[in-house]
Amino acid sequence: MNYTEILSPKFEPETTGTTIMAVIYDGGLIIGADSRTSSGQFVADRCADKIDYVHDRIFCLRSGSAADTQTIAKYVRYYVDAHAQELGRLPAVATAANLFRNFLYEYKDSLSAAIIVAGWDPYKGPQIFTLPLGGSVIEQKWSIGGSGSTFIWGFCDANYKENMTLQEARAFVLHAVAHAMYRDGSSGGIIRLLNVTKDKIEREFIDYKDVPVK
């Protein structure tokens, strides 16, 4: 037996076996994600950033193939930037979501990517668009995604309230993601939060020792 034989089944493409989440609260929206990138059984990155910048107030949460989602995000970033330049003001979240959809639909056979687009725009305020495999777009008040999300549907259904305060929403996202990370083998590491409002964006890093469910 040689090393190649031992290792080869383990070198699978990196996937963000993931827990991602976004929730609208009163005055903004909050985004949460775990940080594990897996390659089969192997943790390729234990501190990944799955919250990608699209524009000043628009972000996307990546789940599925890391290569696919990073590349699509790169293209959409480019398109949104060119569009915003022409527009002369902040672009609509729906615009970013639609650009993602165009890629996801056109290349559905070759892509493994499920994305949540979340952000604030001056037209409709905070918005969340869920884009599952295949190229559909669903606008929601809250959205969860990735392999870890299957474990927290009940938690989210039971605990989501409309018009939460920032503190309530933050606690909700933090606990939901922590629970998912606890039960899902492909989610884990630390938690990243991002708060998006009209005036600012605020990142927060939750160290492993501070993750509430362990």
Partner 1 sequence: MSGSMYDLSVATYSQEGRIYQVEYATKAVENSETVIGVKCKDGVILAGEKQKFSRLLEDNTNKRIYNIDNQTGMALCGKLPDGRNILQRAKAEASQYQDMYAIPASANVLSDRVSQYVHAYTMYSGVRPFGSATFIASYNTFDGYELYMIEPSGNKYAYHACAHGKGRAICKSEFERRNFKDLTCQDALVYVAKMLILSHEEFKEKKFEYEITWINDNNGRKHQTVPQDFINNAVQQAEQLIEQDQIGE
Q: Does 95 bind partner 1 (CB under 8 A)?
A: yes
Q: Is 149 left (phi over 0), alpha (psi -120 to 50) or beta?
A: alpha
Closest CA to 168 of 26, 9, 18: 26
Q: Does 19 bind partner 1 (CB under 8 A)?
A: no
| Minimum CB distance to partner 1, residue 83 (Å) | 6
Nearer to partner 1, 40 or 132 (CB): 132
Residue type, 67: A
Q: Which residues are catalytic?
A: 18
| Segment lying near partner 1 (by CB under 8 A), choices 50-58, 98-106, 111-119, 145-153 | 98-106
Q: Are 115 and 62 in contact (CB under 8 A)?
A: yes
DSSP letters for 153-210: HHHHHHH--TT--HHHHHHHHHHHHHHHHHH-TT--S-EEEEEEESS-EEEEEE-GGG
| Binders in 175-204 for partner 1, by CB under 8 A | none
Q: Does 131 bind partner 1 (CB under 8 A)?
A: no
Q: Does 83 bind partner 1 (CB under 8 A)?
A: yes
> Of 70, 71, 98, 112, which one interacts with partner 1 (CB under 8 A)?
98
Q: Does 122 bind partner 1 (CB under 8 A)?
A: yes
Q: Does 76 bind partner 1 (CB under 8 A)?
A: no
| Minimum CB distance to partner 1, residue 121 (Å) | 10
Q: Does 140 bind partner 1 (CB under 8 A)?
A: no
